[in-house]
Amino acid sequence: MIHAEGYAATGIQGIVESVDVPKGSFYNHFASKEAFGAEVIDAYFDRGQEKLRAFLCNADMAPLQRLEAYFDDRIKALRAAGFVRGCLLGNFSAEVADHSALMREHLVVHFAAWGNFFADCIAEFPADLLARFVLNSWEGALLRMRAERSAAPLIEFKEIVFGKLLA
Amino acid sequence: MIHAEGYAATGIQGIVESVDVPKGSFYNHFASKEAFGAEVIDAYFDRGQEKLRAFLCNADMAPLQRLEAYFDDRIKALRAAGFVRGCLLGNFSAEVADHSALMREHLVVHFAAWGNFFADCIAEFPADLLARFVLNSWEGALLRMRAERSAAPLIEFKEIVFGKLLA
């Protein structure tokens, strides 16, 4: 619900109704909506991490090919979804980072871990710097994808990153 | 208000109160909050366009230097603001592009115009492709800036774009 509608637009009432539990149960598990948001951020990254690991730690492929295969897989999935929603970490960055130190801290940790996965595939010095740039550029391409509702920003991201920047 | 708090979080009531006019007046000028949002998008880009023109059409500087001066100016302003809010077009892309065809259309038009300003400063072929990539990477760096609340993603954007991609 948060990925589709946004954090502010998703009420606790709607969340508890969707899983058919009383509203009081929510507060048995989460101190606040903000604490829940931080756990949503963690859960989202944990799930994405399996995919990151499957693609980017695949010793059967050359490092740069792994990274390219990862983006190809993401573009395929985003196309299947109709170019909506984008990345939940990017969305939280846009919507709540200015207003919640707690959620912002969780975003910082996961973006750093995500960037490290990329850095391991970018041999060129300085790999960590390039890796963070590639990750941020991907987040920007996802924003633009949602504005255009088209794969063009994603395809062009790949053209520049693999055809020029990392070539 | 929309730039600081987001589109959903900004109510029409708050808008009319901030300028001390009755709520009915809002609907004399705007058919809906969505129509108002589209005009906010236009007004934001119109204002930004003056700065784009001042920096990127400055015949006294080499084209790539103009582009670098533009980003230097933006980074300085974002630092002065404490690394919050980011780009309103990016924020609208994150928050409403999935849900409003009208606002999405306005975003598409302005992103295209913005990319054209960049393309004019990037001599290398294919300039328009590189220009769109640079713009989307900048939007991503702004998202990351808000998560980190630091200039690092902006500085690193510049290092890669001017030190490697366009060098």
| Confidence class for position A125, pLDDT limits 50, 70, 90 | low
**Mean pLDDT in residue range A127-148:** 89
Does any domain span residue B150? yes
Residue A47 C-alpha, separation from nearest chain B C-alpha, in angstroms: 20
Q: Write the DSSP string, B92-108.
A: HHHHTTTT-HHHHHHHH
| CB of B37 less than 8 A from some CB of A | no
| CB of B147 less than 8 A from some CB of A | yes
Model pLDDT, residue B125: 61
| Confidence class for position A28, pLDDT limits 50, 70, 90 | very high
Taking only residues 98 to 137 of chain A, the set having a beta carbon closer than 8 angstroms to any beta carbon of chain B reads 98-99, 104, 107-108, 111, 129-130, 132-133, 135-137
Residues B47-99: pLDDT tens digits? 999 999 999 999 899 888 898 899 889 888 988 988 888 899 999 989 988 89
Whole-angstrom distance, CA of residue A12 vs CA of residue A6: 13
Model pLDDT, residue A31: 95
| CB of B146 less than 8 A from some CB of A | yes
Residues A73-124: pLDDT tens digits? 988 898 898 888 889 999 998 998 889 999 999 998 998 899 888 888 887 6
Does any domain span residue B21? no
Does any domain span residue B154? yes
Residues B98-150: pLDDT tens digits? 899 999 999 989 988 998 888 888 876 678 888 899 999 999 999 888 888 88
Q: Which domain holds residue A156?
A: 32-165
Does any domain span residue B20? no
Does any domain span residue B65? yes
> Percent of chain A having pLDDT more than 90?
55
Contact B132 A156 (CB under 8 A): yes
Contact B137 A136 (CB under 8 A): yes
Averaged confidence pLDDT in chain A: 90
The count of domains in chain B is: 1
Does any domain span residue B3? no
E strands, B43-155, in order: none
Whole-angstrom distance, CA of residue A134 vs CA of residue B6: 27
From chain B, pick out residues whose CB is under 8 angstroms from the CB of A133.
137, 141, 156-157, 159-160
Model pLDDT, residue B124: 66
As a whole number of angstroms, the longest Cα–Cα distance in chain A is: 55
**Amino acid occupying residue B50:** E
Does any domain span residue B78? yes
Least confident of A68-77, A121-130, B153-162: A121-130
Model pLDDT, residue A167: 77
The CATH code of the domain that includes A81 is: 1.10.357.10
**Amino acid occupying residue B100:** S
Find tokens 């129509």 and name the residue: B35
Exposed/middle/buried for B162, CB within 10 Å: 0-12, 13-18, 19+? Answer: middle
Does any domain span residue A24? no
Q: Is residue A20 predicted with pLDDT exceeding 70? A: yes
